[in-house]
Amino acid sequence: MTLTCAIIDDEPLAVKLLAAYVQKTPALDLVSTYSSAVEAILGLEEAPVDLIFCDIQMPELDGLQFAQIISTTHSRIIFTTAYDKYAVEGWKVDALDYLLKPIGYEEFLAAVQKAMKWFARETQPLPSAIESFFIKSDYKLIRVRFDEILYIEGLRDYVKIYLTGARKPILSLTSMRTIEAALPADWFMRTHRSFIVNLHHIEIIERGQIIFGEKYIPVSDSYKDAVQNYVYSRLLQSKNDK
């Protein structure tokens, strides 16, 4: 397995060091480097990568803010910083690892190996026999069946899972990335960095929004093509429409 990666750091020497580490690591393929998080958001939306080495302290937009904004769900972040006080904040935004500067190659390689294990595990195809998962909500473990999920909404540190026939959603302290990895791709689709919908329960689409009862689910530009392709592949047309 080879992971594509990007480096985000406003210090040229830090970028140069990490690029040298990537170059001598066969499992990595450096796709891009960025001197700011603002620049990286635009670049990674168009050309996402598997792994992002991201500095935390940067002007305009820091690494933690970047992690909350970036909508490329496939990417995982390894933070790099000179200050260990950010470790807890790094885990809150679902960072894969945390490297403290000055970074030695041994520590760098250990983080890469951790990433390799994560991607190897998460990219395994979901067995067709699995039709549900258990999720922790408060102090309970609740079974959630795929066919009962209407849509999932991501909040800052939580997700809300809305089910058919349920008065209230299930609230769980987990990330959208973790939830998305557990769902079968032929059943569910990301329409926005804060929403995942069950394709089998889509009944109405109006003006670029998916309607579930009184709830309007937005479709962001990053996911518009995927949603349109899904709809058009199932759109009935008369001869006069062609």
Q: Give the per-residue pLDDT at 92.
A: 54
Question: What is the maximum span of the chain, computed from C-alpha positions, in angstroms?
Answer: 66
End-to-end Cα separation, the chain, in angstroms: 44
Look at residue 89 in the predicted model and tell me its pLDDT: 52
Torsion, Cα of 198, 202, 208, 212 (10° steps): -90
Q: Given this model, what pLDDT does residue 11 score?
A: 95
Please state, in angstroms and as integers, the Cα–Cα distance from residue 35 to each residue in 3, 8, 51, 61, 140, following that order.
Answer: 21, 6, 16, 11, 44
pLDDT tens for 112-147 read: 998 998 888 766 654 445 688 999 998 899 999 999
Distances in Å between the Cα of 78 and the Cα atoms of 36, 123, 168 are 16, 19, 35
pLDDT score, position 242: 47
- Those residues whose C-beta lies under 8 Å from the C-beta of residue 81, and which sit 6 or more positions away, are 55, 56, 57, 63, 98, 99, 100, 101
Residue 213 pLDDT: 83
Run of H or E including 63: helix 63-69
Residues of the chain with confidence (pLDDT) below 50: 88, 90, 126-128, 238-239, 242
pLDDT at 238: 47
Q: In this predicted model, what pLDDT tens digit does every residue of 21-42 receive, in sequence order?
A: 999 999 999 999 999 999 999 8
Which residues, in sequence order, are CB contacts of 166 under 8 Å at separation 6+? Answer: 148
- Domains, the chain, in order of start with CATH, read 3-122 (3.40.50.2300), 132-232 (2.40.50.1020)
Q: What is the pLDDT of residue 117?
A: 85
Q: With CA atoms as reference, report the closest residue to 5 among 100, 58, 80.
A: 80
Asked if 176 contacts 185 with a C-beta cutoff of 8 angstroms, the reply is no
Q: What is the pTM of this model?
A: 0.53
